[in-house]
Structure 1
Amino acid sequence: MGDRALTGAAGHASVDPAFFRRVVGSFATGVTIVTTLDSQGCLHGLTANSFTSVSLAPPLVLVCVERRSRSLAALRQSEVFAVNIASEAQRELSIRFATNAADKFDGVQTQRAATGAPIFADSVAWLDCRLSDIVAAGDHDVVIGKVVDMAEGSALPLGYFRGGFFNVSDEQSASQTRGQTVFSVIVDHGGRVLLCRAGEGGKWSFPEAPGDAGGLPLGGLRERLAEAGAPTTISFLYSVDEIRHRECTLLLYRGELSAKPDLADRENWRFFDAGATPWEDLLDYQTRMTLKRYFQERSQGRFGLFAETGEGGHIAPIVDNLRSYSKEDAERQLG
């Protein structure tokens, strides 16, 4: 047994629904959008994370759907449905289909599977099903379908944990840098800052490189920026952060473009000013606070060096008239 205490509900006369929802939400899952059509051919769909395979022979899957759902009523009529496994790029789509809105499919591109059920081509995968059985279970129905067709793509899946979505790419990035020193840079281009993301639907962050990248200076950060079409002159350290949820030390520098940018991936590498920055879609709290501090200090013409101390950290003002200092300079002084 571990030494961490758990908050339980033992001894309660009844199970609190809100607490029950929170506890079962501790089981991290993927996200699916279940789609179907009614007898009139109108499209219906809902977001569901209660999905699993049931049998290989025959190929059966199940989803759990609230009994009052209009989509369930439509599914009963047509006896067909598709399970679209949501990708990171489908976060907003998953939020839309989790509502009771009547216009969920407005502006959404779909294709038709063999059964006629709508499918989303940019999903991680989809399964086209014919209804096999419906089993009542409390206030939900367990819908069992026989898979008649399926396909998979290369996108990364969207995850769901304790009431919120998360991107698998963010978790992969964190695991790759755990325990390392990570080099990063704020690239300034006329008051706009360069941000990048892992793909559509991913979180925006400063460009970075792990410290063990083949022995290159700054982990190959300059080389990565050049390959991205943003050759950068890195000037001076801006912050030293202990990123606890990634278990790494982040050394963040200031930098400016050394040539006109020619971004190779304009969808996932962009320059933002303070007004256009996607604040809610930044990687984490540290990124948001650091970028806000940078824009503020830039407007004042005075920069500081932040150092994490374990108790919030400190900022030391610095004079921005940097001079070069090389190994040869040091040897001359010592000699």
Structure 2
Amino acid sequence: MYVVTAVTADGERAGCLVGFASPCSVDPPLFMAWLSTANHTYRVARRASHLAVRVLRSDQKELAALFGGRTGDDTDKLARVDWRPGAGGAPVLADARAWLVGRIEERFEGGGGDHVGFLLAPVEQSPSGPDGPPLLRLGDVTGLMPGHPA
């Protein structure tokens, strides 16, 4: 599971829990993150130049609940966590095992129309670090009630 964050040129910021994301090219390196069109984060990401993508560890279910169980329509989730601006101003969350910031290259409509893929060219990434707890998987958050219907 991932948290994707974005900020617009005028400072509007948002973040959401994402289960559909993956590296998708080796040369050039590219990463795809799919955002639900129902999410506040999607509306912010449409106007952003970069997105930050942070992979969650298995011990970060509270963070998953914040970014997946609350809506940015009425909650500034980034006010509740430590973060710093990365490339393009994209919010990079603290205490991450692995993260990247990517420049948005293209957007792709999903087949069902409820998600849009953001193709990212990585411009900044986390340094290599020691092994930690296992990563948080989709099966670990299946009982989480979403802030928006998918």
Where do 5+ consecutive residues of structure 2 fail to align?
145-150
Alignment correspondent of 2:36: 66
Q: Deviations over 1:250-271 (max 9, x none)?
A: xxxxxxxxxxxxxxxxxxxxxx
Which of the numbers 129, 132, 145 marks the counterpart of 2:120? 145
Q: Distance in 2 between matches of 1:88 and 1:153?
A: 17
Which of the numbers 96, 101, 104 marks the counterpart of 1:123? 96
Amino acid at match of 2:53: V
SS of the aligned residue for 1:123 comes to: coil
SS of the aligned residue for 1:71 comes to: helix
Which of the numbers 42, 53, 57 marks the counterpart of 2:12? 42
Q: TM-score, normalised by structure 2?
A: 0.81
SS of the aligned residue for 1:88 comes to: coil
Which of the numbers 95, 105, 128 marks the counterpart of 1:132? 105
In the TM superposition, structure 1's runs of 4+ consecutive aligned residues that sit over 2 Å from their partners are 152-156
- Say if 2:52 and 2:100, in contact at 8 Å, map to a contact too: yes
The reply on whether 1:100 has 2:78 as its aligned counterpart is: no
Q: TM-score, normalised by structure 1?
A: 0.38
Q: Deviations over 1:281-326 (max 9, x none)?
A: xxxxxxxxxxxxxxxxxxxxxxxxxxxxxxxxxxxxxxxxxxxxxx
Q: Distance in 1 between matches of 2:12 and 2:129?
A: 27
- Say if 1:90 and 1:123, in contact at 8 Å, map to a contact too: no
Q: Distance in 1 between matches of 2:58 and 2:34?
A: 22
- Say if 2:5 and 2:14, in contact at 8 Å, map to a contact too: yes
Alignment correspondent of 2:136: 158
Pairs within 5 Å for 1:228-307: none
SS of the aligned residue for 1:161 comes to: helix
Identify the structure with bigger relative contact order (alpha carbons < 8 Å, sequence gap 6+): 2
Q: Distance in 1 between matches of 2:143 and 2:31?
A: 24
Aligned length: 135
Alignment correspondent of 1:289: none
Q: Percent identity?
A: 26
SS of the aligned residue for 2:60 comes to: helix
Amino acid at match of 1:112: P
Q: Distance in 2 between matches of 1:47 and 1:153?
A: 23
Amino acid at match of 2:117: V
Alignment correspondent of 1:53: 23
Amino acid at match of 1:97: F
- Say if 2:50 and 2:87, in contact at 8 Å, map to a contact too: no
Post-superposition offset of 1:164: 4.6
Amino acid at match of 2:65: I
My pick for the range that moved more, 71-80 or 45-54, is 71-80
The reply on whether 1:109 has 2:82 as its aligned counterpart is: yes
- Say if 2:8 and 2:45, in contact at 8 Å, map to a contact too: yes
The reply on whether 1:84 has 2:54 as its aligned counterpart is: yes
Where do 5+ consecutive residues of structure 1 fail to align?
1-30, 166-335
Post-superposition offset of 1:52: 0.5
Q: Distance in 1 between matches of 2:89 and 2:99?
A: 13
Q: Deviations over 1:123-171 (max 9, x none)?
A: 1200110001111112111111111111144332222217158xxxxxx
Amino acid at match of 1:134: R
Could you say what the CA RMSD is over the residues aligned between the two structures, in angstroms? 1.8
SS of the aligned residue for 1:95 comes to: helix
